Structure 1
């Protein structure tokens, strides 16, 4: 018997997923269900990070240099939209023509004072560095799930 033991590989049979309805009609019905819900949330990417957002939330993100106070930003990278009963995940994002979320720039602010102390033992070297990190605060507006345009014949 050798000391080398062969790893056991488990071969899983994958079930075939068959859809009886096209994906677009499933998405349309999911959006209709979400539209009827009273409270909604989105998972959106803002400044390179994902945040769980609801209407009227106040979001603090690292400083956005190219915006001013009062500007309205359209959040384009929405990864998920949902409510208490229904959830629609994007692949990787939900198209912006289906869900609209706007954020208003409330203020540019700074965080608390950060103190960095550097020291080298027995060398007489001590250095104190202080700084405040800059942030931008955003107020999240209503989550609008857009109804698909009906085609008239």
Structure 2
């Protein structure tokens, strides 16, 4: 019987801690955006060149070569599927509108990958061929994640 009391004594403080850790659920999208903005670190899940990437500020993203951009150009990521922080997540259906979240990426460099070697051969024909190739890539630096830019910047009527 002493072991049962011992177990109950140690389990009761754990239940008390678990009851204190309940988060409040936001009721509107604006409230959810405000909660995510108040968190110290944010991330987005964005589609770029047909693939989804998890991105945080100051990440370097390597994508297949983009032909029409130069080093230093700023690209706007407009297909954002998910926005979140450590404790909260907001998912779009299928995307979050560009008016709510803005993410920019700066072209850092155009580069090539490692050497890939293909060897082709046909038996008993004397045919051998070696093909060497490097895939071209573009590297992007992700900028800051601006959540609901209309609410964060005061309008001229409010400042007067």
Question: Could you state the TM-score of these two structures normalised by the residue count of structure 2?
Answer: 0.76
Unaligned runs of 5+ in 2: 1-26
CA distance in 2, matches of 1:93, 1:72: 21
Q: Deviations over 1:62-119 (max 9, x none)?
A: 0011110000001000010000000001100000000010000000000011101001
Change (3 A) 1:65 1:147: closer
Q: Find the counterpart in structure 2 of residue 35 from structure 1.
A: 37
Aligned residues: 127
Q: Find the counterpart in structure 2 of residue 111 from structure 1.
A: 113
Change (3 A) 1:76 1:110: same
Q: Deviations over 1:107-136 (max 9, x none)?
A: 000001110100111111101011100000
- Superposition deviation, residue 148 in structure 1: 5.0
Task: State how 1:6-85 maps to structure 2 within 5 Å.
Answer: 26-85=28-87
CA distance in 1, matches of 2:131, 2:86: 47
Q: Is the 8 A contact 2:111 2:136 kept in 1?
A: yes
* Structure 1: 4+ residue segments shifted above 6 A: none
Secondary structure (helix, strand or coil) at the match of 1:35 reads: helix
Q: Find the counterpart in structure 2 of residue 135 from structure 1.
A: 137
Give 1 or 2: higher helix fraction. Answer: 2
Q: Find the counterpart in structure 2 of residue 21 from structure 1.
A: none
Secondary structure (helix, strand or coil) at the match of 1:67 reads: coil
- Superposition deviation, residue 27 in structure 1: 1.0
Unaligned runs of 5+ in 1: 1-24
Q: Deviations over 1:14-43 (max 9, x none)?
A: xxxxxxxxxxx6211111111101100000
Question: Could you state the TM-score of these two structures normalised by the residue count of structure 1?
Answer: 0.79
Q: Find the counterpart in structure 2 of residue 120 from structure 1.
A: 122
